[in-house]
Every structure is written in C-alpha cells, then in structure tokens.
Amino acid sequence: MVSLWDLVTLFSGCTALGAAIAAAKSTGTGGNRIVIGSVVGALIAIACVSAVRAAGRHVFLRMLPGEEGTVRESKARLVYLAAAVWIVLSGILAAKAALFVVRLTLS
C-alpha cells in the first residue's frame, strides 16, 4: 500500500531530477549536457528523498498516540505543507546546481 507520504517523497525526488535535466537541456543541445544534468539531478534527488524520509520518520514517530485528534491533524498538515515547500525548493536547487555544473564543465 502506498501512502500519501510515499507520494510526497517520490515527488521530491522526481522534481529535483526533472528540474536538473530541464535546466541542463536549456543551456544548449548535446548529449553531454543531458548526462551531466542527469547525474547532478540524481545526486540531488537521492539527497532530497533521504531528507524527506528522515523528516517524516522523525515527525510521525514523535506524534503521541494519546494526543487529541486535532493536535495530531494540525501537526500532520504542517508536515505536509513543509514537504510541499521542500519540493519546490528542491527543484530550484537542482536546476541551479545543474546549470552551474554544466557551465563549469562545458565552458
């Protein structure tokens, strides 16, 4: 069974990978750019997925079973909001990193 948190984790990795490849392709044509963008994107995607997984594990394990439902629900909403912001930031970070590495290596 796939949970919503698993999908959020997947989105964080895919966003980073896709943004890095798109940024590398935007610098021009050539297979080298796509390969470099893919490698940079994959490295950042692995880091992003690991960070989201660790944050989710840390927060969701700390939610006490005896807490009120509204307190647990509000904590969960904040975690998902933070994950959504992280997804956007990971895409921006991956795009900037891929542009930097492509320009550095192919200039």
Residue 68 reports pLDDT greater than 90: no
DSSP 6-45: HHHHHHHHHHHHHHHHHHHHHT-S-HHHHHHHHHHHHHHH
Residue 39, pLDDT score: 95
C-alpha span between 13 and 94 (Å, rounded): 10
Per the model's pLDDT, the better-predicted residue between 64 and 98 turns out to be: 98
Per the model's pLDDT, the better-predicted residue between 29 and 22 turns out to be: 22
Residue 29, pLDDT score: 76
Where residue 9 falls among pLDDT bands split at 50, 70, 90?
very high
